[in-house]
Chain A
């Protein structure tokens, strides 16, 4: 009997009436069903319980998907921010050689701007979050920001792969629901056809 292993890598297990992809980072894999009859006997449930079990699974997948989508939105907002910071540091670094100050207009409040003169400097302060700001040299700042950017992009990739895996499991579950329902209808028809000649 095929059972799902709880390793966190995707592994294919065969045998029984289905194939199983083990859970991936906390998302349980959906069991693919070769034959509906064998699947139902293997679960030991009747059709309605199976359908409600599958529906429940679907809802759980939906919840996880919402969570992952929110995380993806956050990351996609963070990445342009980091790129903008890198831009600024690069501009400051470029200005360093020339000896002239950088004049800039910055926002004091909504719709109100003020002019600033930024002299040549060797260091910048970076906001690290949690009310913490640290001073870095221009090179260190560039390195730190670049590292953050790379981490963010890598997390985004992993997240996208997770979402794809999740959507696959959702598809498999939906198809299984359809097949179980179809099978049940088919069975009822067969039983009806069997019952009618007995009535003659």
Chain B
């Protein structure tokens, strides 16, 4: 019986377009292949709202947090999948009647007695669960910071800026 853990894959998708809307009639499109960039749309009303260095830093921070948020979502998905794999593995292990299990270490499958395999899987499950918990916590904090920043930026720019996802 073979037990194998699925390796994680890293992929990036290129999507977004930053649209800068000028007046109600003109639309100026800037193509940007930015990965995971939140759409920041700015529009000019009759008067110009000045952008201070502090505002700029807030916008930068929001962009960074948004990127981190997407990265965290991917990592959480992978961690959950790994956990499920461990669950399936330990279930299979209980069902099997073989004494020696082929357990993957590095690139080879070593013959390991069933008890040792059980312990190893338990350990790996612990580690992954803790990692998953930490990731979820970080995600919560990132979301909280993002809504704080949204309040500040919408407060200053009102309609001239749009910070929502697609």
**Chain A residues with a Cβ under 8 A of chain B:** 19, 32, 34-35, 55, 58, 62, 65, 69, 73, 76-77, 80, 84-85, 87-88, 91, 102-107, 113, 116, 164, 167-168, 170-172, 174-175, 177-179, 181-183, 185-186
Contacts and interface: CB of A to CB of B under 8 A. Distances in A.
Contacts of A88: 105-106, 108
B53 A106 contact: no
Interface in B6-27: 7-8, 10, 12, 18, 20, 22-23, 26
21 contacts: A35-B50, A58-B30, A73-B10, A84-B106, A88-B105, A88-B106, A102-B111, A104-B108, A104-B111, A107-B107, A167-B64, A167-B67, A168-B64, A171-B59, A175-B42, A175-B59, A179-B42, A179-B48, A185-B23, A186-B44, A186-B48
Interface residues of B, number: 38
A106 B108 contact: yes
A179 B56 CA distance: 12
A38 B108 CA distance: 66
A182 to B, nearest CB: 4
Contacts of B53: 19, 32, 34
A174 B48 contact: no
A183 to B, nearest CB: 7
A113 B110 contact: no
Q: Which of B10, B63, B105, B110 has the most CB of A within 10 A?
A: B110
A146 to B, nearest CB: 15
Contact of A84 (B44, B52, B56, B107): B107
Given A73-B10, A175-B40, A185-B22, A104 B60 contact: no
Given A88-B106, A174-B32, A168 B63 contact: yes
Nearest to B63: A171
B85 to A, nearest CB: 15
Given A19-B53, A88-B106, A182-B42, 13 more contacts: A34-B53, A73-B10, A84-B107, A87-B106, A88-B105, A91-B105, A116-B108, A164-B64, A167-B60, A167-B64, A168-B60, A172-B56, A175-B51
Given A73-B10, A84-B106, A88-B106, A171 B60 contact: yes
Nearest to B33: A62
Q: Which of A69, A87, A104, A177 has the most CB of B within 10 A?
A: A104
Contacts of A167: 34, 37, 60, 63-64, 67
A19 to B, nearest CB: 6
B8 to A, nearest CB: 7
A122 B83 CA distance: 35
Contacts of A170: 32, 34
Nearest to B23: A185
Interface in B87-122: 102, 105-111
B10 A171 contact: no
A93 to B, nearest CB: 12
A84 B4 CA distance: 13
